[in-house]
Homo-oligomer: A and B are copies of this chain.
Amino acid sequence: MRVLVPYRVDEPKTRLAPVLDDEERREFSRLMLTDVLGAIREAGYTPTVLSTASLPDSTVPIPVEGYIVDDRPLTAAVNAHLEPETAVVMADLALATPAAISELLSVDDGVGLAPGRGGGTNAIVTHHPRFQVDYHGASYRDHVTICEQIGADARTIDSFCLSADIDEPDDLTEVLLHGTGAAADWLTERFELCASNGRVGVERL
């Protein structure tokens, strides 16, 4: 089982720009990658990083199967490196737990899909030779349709941890509330929870 973790090296997490500067976004993004790789390792698998540019050796302290550099857009890069037994786990799942990764990777037939909030697909495992990803738009729905077209059983992984990709300032709330890894530690040193209009958000310390 190959476990790919796509990672964008240049200008990661641009939608966090309202609250994190360039350098902070790079650091936070790298720490989330570290946490995701660590959860995969703890689940008993060795991840492969699929990055848009080569990474310095010091980027992540987690042992990996290898690094693949592919500067194409996400969908093309992932499809180029899909083998029949492959999982794809997004690098910004700061809440990912070994248990959730294990549940995903326990899907041993067809295709397993972990939906992200807002229609995305945050993690996939495929055992079908003709499955291809399409991350544009409401990709979860598209992936279910692709499975129907190729006759692959699609199983949905019902995980809050895997549903929480960290893209926008509001998402940082989830990291402060539920995160236990390096990204959460880093964020906790800089932000705290606050309440406004009955909603919970984050603000600088």
Q: Which of B118, B141, B161 contacts A199 (CB 8 A)?
A: B118
Interface-located stretch among A69-77, A171-179, A182-190? A171-179
Complex contacts, A118 vs chain B, CB 8 Å: 170, 173-174, 199-200
B178 and A138 contacting across the interface, CB-CB below 8 Å:
no
Task: Report which of B114, B115, B117, B158 forms a contact with A99, defined as CB distance below 8 A.
Answer: B158
Expressed in whole angstroms, the minimum distance between the Cβ of A34 and any Cβ of chain B is 21
By size class, the interface of chain A is: 20 to 34
How far is B174's CA from A199's CA once the two chains are assembled, in angstroms? 19
Give CA–CA (A41, B200) in the complex, Å.
Answer: 32
Q: Is A117 a contact partner of B115 (Cβ separation < 8 A)?
A: no
Give A136-169 interface residues, CB cut-off 8 Å to B.
137-138, 140-141, 158-164
Contact A138 B200 (CB under 8 A): yes
